[in-house]
């Protein structure tokens, strides 16, 4: 009988140990899941911060418009995400995030390459991204007073009037 009691108590102890091990494993698994959830929350916040950017930045307001426009043009042209991303030199995942408005528009050279791949005017695409072509600041710095005054004077003009002004400027350049 004493042997039976010992075996019963030892089996009870081993069952308790096994139960404790299972409980410990469950706790560890819960902690791991909680850590993963916390990491996902942090990652989402980082994406949101990238999307939001600086409040005074004109890019912030146009980020989703830029991405939506790029996606609509790409689909209208019948081009796949991978094909365009290869032509531009960016990853498909990055381009997809830009299209969904999760990230700000890419750098100026990438936007120019994107405009070329999508057969769009690069200045229009850059403007949609809140940027200007690299040669514009150089031109403005040559004659800052006159050109800035000219730009301010065109504020509020219709597209037709600006086109006429452009045609006159081209004639004068000859």
- Helices H / strands E in the chain, number of each: 9, 0
**pLDDT single digits (tens) 3-31:** 555 555 566 666 666 666 666 777 777 77
| Residue 56: per-residue pLDDT | 38
* pLDDT mean across residues, the chain: 80
**pLDDT single digits (tens) 90-119:** 999 999 999 999 999 999 999 999 999 999
Q: What integer is the mean pLDDT of 50-68? A: 57
Counting residues of the chain whose pLDDT is more than 90, the rounded percentage is: 47
Counting residues of the chain whose pLDDT is more than 70, the rounded percentage is: 69
| Residue 9: per-residue pLDDT | 57
**pLDDT single digits (tens) 35-57:** 777 666 666 655 555 544 433 34
DSSP for 65-128 reads HHHHHHHHHHHHTT--HHHHHHHHTS-HHHHHHHHTTSS----HHHHHHHHHHTT--HHHHHHH
For the ranges 47-51, 63-67, 83-87, the lowest mean pLDDT is seen at: 47-51
């Amino acid at each position: 009988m004493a042997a039976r009691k010992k075996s019963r108590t030892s089996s009870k102890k081993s069952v308790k140990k096994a139960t404790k091990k299972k409980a410990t494993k469950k706790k560890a698994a819960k902690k791991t899941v909680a850590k993963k959830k916390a990491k996902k929350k942090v990652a989402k916040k980082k994406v949101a911060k990238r999307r939001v950017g600086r409040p005074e930045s004109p890019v912030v307001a146009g980020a989703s418009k830029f991405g939506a426009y790029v996606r609509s043009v790409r689909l209208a042209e019948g081009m796949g995400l991978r094909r365009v991303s290869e032509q531009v030199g960016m990853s498909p995942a990055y381009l997809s995030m830009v299209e969904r408005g999760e990230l700000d528009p890419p750098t100026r050279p990438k936007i120019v390459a994107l405009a070329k791949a999508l057969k769009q005017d690069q200045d229009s695409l850059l403007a949609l991204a809140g940027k200007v072509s690299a040669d514009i600041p150089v031109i403005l710095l040559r004659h800052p007073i006159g050109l800035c005054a000219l730009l301010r004077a065109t504020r509020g003009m219709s597209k037709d009037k600006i086109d006429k002004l452009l045609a006159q400027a081209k004639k004068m350049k000859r």
